[in-house]
Amino acid sequence: MARLAKSTQEAIVALNQLARPPHERLVAAVALACQILELALRIHPYVNGNGHAARFILLAILGRYDYWPARWTIDPRPGHPDYVNMIVAYRNGNPRPLEEFILKSIIGL
């Protein structure tokens, strides 16, 4: 958990210091949020509620920049049929499906 907290803090500081156009800032924030989501799920620090906590962290990171995914819920888990597959793909080095899902949810597609 200490690693998760430190990684999150460092990444947010780095993201805050970048001067980027709005669309690039959105993509960077989503990438960061997905990275932290997967790390929280991988650490799995609690007996129960790890998915809820990880989704809350994702919302907290995105909300910091006023990005609010419309189709992303803490409870129940997002209803997309491939949600778990997107997490697995992310873990296997393919972040694109999860990041695109979050981006589309934010921009309303």
CATH number of the domain within which 44 lies: 1.10.3290.10
What's the predicted TM-score (pTM) here? 0.89
Distance in angstroms (rounded) separating the CA atoms of residues 39 and 19: 26
What is the band of 109 on the pLDDT scale with cuts at 50, 70, 90?
A: low
Kindly state the tokens that stand for 101: 């899902």
More confident residue, 109 or 42: 42
Residue 13 pLDDT level (bands cut at 50, 70, 90): very high
Which phi and psi angles does 89 have, rounded to 5°?
-60, -40
Q: Can you state the percent helix, strand and coil of the chain, rounding each to 5?
A: 70, 0, 30
Say yes or no to pLDDT of 36 above 80. Answer: yes
Structural domain of residue 15, as residue ranges?
2-107
Number of domains in the chain: 1
Alpha-carbon distance of 54 to 39, in angstroms, equals: 9
